Amino acid sequence: MTGETLLEVEGLRVEFGASVAAVRGASLSVARGQTHCLVGESGCGKSVSALAIMNLLARGGRRGADKLSFAGIDLRGMSDREMARLRGDRMAMIFQEPMTSLNPAYTVGSQMAEVLRRHRGTSRRDALDRAAELLGRVGITAPGMRLGQFPHQLSGGLRQRVMIAMALMCDPELLIADEPTTALDVTVQAQILRLLAGLQRDLGLAILLITHDLGVVARVAHRVSVMYAGEVVESAATADLFARPTHPYTRGLLECVPVPGKVKRDQPLGSIPGVVPKVSPGFTGCGFRDRCAHANEICAGDIPRHRTDGDHEYLCRLPRDWAHAA
């Protein structure tokens, strides 16, 4: 089963009103038992892509895609009702801030049990047993006591574990995690990421992990897609992306990250000048050209998508060996 493509997205487009093109033809796929990381800075369209896949876009958001299939099911033509049956059951999602995703007025146990009762019609008692089992599975001690507590009585790390346990209630095949550790301390982040890796190994979960942290990407992803201004500008197997980053944006991003022992203290870090542009529908050319040191007039036109061996793709006019030959 591992390795078989579970989620396949091609040419995903999301627009808000007439002025914002949030996602512009993004493609990615997630295989069973693997983690695909979607990485980029705020406003690049990574969260919107995830929400579009789940059909959870805010009102006013329009979604289009050439292909959007989950386990062979075409998600494009699905009614809200059919989609609601799938969400929380075969595909689940967790968010950055668990406090805003948990209902403060219900106990942990009752909101966890609701998932199973709604999707499977399980009895309350059985659903609570399953909830206690999963709380134990995500490393929460004394799960019986936690079931009776309210979200505000838990620490941030515990809340995120509860969110993960809740997402696992119906044994989903796909877990979409949107910055699940960004609000947590580094020590807790390591624990949560280890937990996700362990669950993936045991349950064969496919994970689409959204993050801005290249350290997280390097350590957990099998495959990486780098997003910029609504497009996937580079996509490769993790080791390949870090060994041979090719798009100028990916290269710039990697140079910005302080790595202990890599950059001398009195030396400046690499940085990318300028800010992420606002892109409206009808925008043509490379979204990065205003900030790119290699931009020329060609960059305002159509940009070729290069594919090199080993499934390494990038969207740039530059030849594949421009950065590595020098």
Partner 1 sequence: MTPAIEVRGARRTFRVKGAMFQPDKHVVAVDDVSFAVPVGGVLGVVGESGCGKSTLARLILGLLPPEAGEILVDGQRVLQMDRKARARLIQPVFQDPFASLNPLRRVRDIVGLPLAAQGGMSSAEMAKRVDEMLVRVGLTVEMGERQPAQLSGGQRQRVAIARALVLRPRIVVCDEPTSALDVSVQAQILNLLAELRRDLNLTYLFISHNLAVVEHVATEVAVMYLGRIVERAPTDTLFHAPEHPYTKALLASVLTPEPGLGVPDVGLGDSLPDPSNIPPGCRFHPRCPVAIERCASVAPATTPRNAGIVECHLVPTIAA
Q: Which residues bind partner 1 (CB under 8 A)?
A: 41-42, 139-141, 155-158, 185-191, 193-194, 197, 212-221, 238-239, 241-242, 252-261, 263, 265-266, 268-273, 275
DSSP calls for 232-298? EEEEEEHHHHHHS--SHHHHHHHHHS--TTTS-TTSPPP---S-PPP--TT--S-TTGGG-TT--GG
Q: What's the closest the beta carbon of residue 238 comes to partner 1, in angstroms?
A: 5
C-alpha to C-alpha distance for 291 and 30, rounded to whole angstroms:
30
Q: What's the closest the beta carbon of residue 54 comes to partner 1, in angstroms?
A: 24
DSSP calls for 141-152? SSHHHHHTS-GG
State which residue, 81 or 265, has the beta carbon closest to partner 1. Answer: 265
DSSP 173: S
Q: What's the closest the beta carbon of residue 10 comes to partner 1, in angstroms?
A: 26
Contact in structure between 151 and 108 (CB atoms under 8 Å)? yes
Q: Which two tokens stand for residue 289?
A: 């050209």
Question: Dihedral sign, CA of 26, 296, 251, 256?
Answer: negative
Q: Which two tokens stand for residue 174?
A: 């796909």
State which residue, 201 or 307, has the beta carbon closest to partner 1. Answer: 201
Phi, psi of 163 (to 5 degrees): -60, -45
Q: What's the closest the beta carbon of residue 233 comes to partner 1, in angstroms?
A: 14
State which residue, 73 or 142, has the beta carbon closest to partner 1. Answer: 142
C-alpha to C-alpha distance for 277 and 299, rounded to whole angstroms:
15
Q: What's the closest the beta carbon of residue 262 comes to partner 1, in angstroms?
A: 8
Question: Dihedral sign, CA of 306, 46, 61, 165?
Answer: positive
Q: What's the closest the beta carbon of residue 215 comes to partner 1, in angstroms?
A: 3
State which residue, 69 or 191, has the beta carbon closest to partner 1. Answer: 191
Q: What's the closest the beta carbon of residue 81 comes to partner 1, in angstroms?
A: 38
Contact in structure between 34 and 26 (CB atoms under 8 Å)? no
State which residue, 77 or 260, has the beta carbon closest to partner 1. Answer: 260
State which residue, 230 or 252, has the beta carbon closest to partner 1. Answer: 252
Q: What's the closest the beta carbon of residue 323 comes to partner 1, in angstroms?
A: 17
State which residue, 170 or 205, has the beta carbon closest to partner 1. Answer: 205
Q: Which two tokens stand for residue 123?
A: 């009895």
In 56-147, which ranges are E strands?
61-64, 67-70, 73-74, 91-94
State which residue, 124 or 194, has the beta carbon closest to partner 1. Answer: 194
Phi, psi of 69 (to 5 degrees): -125, 140
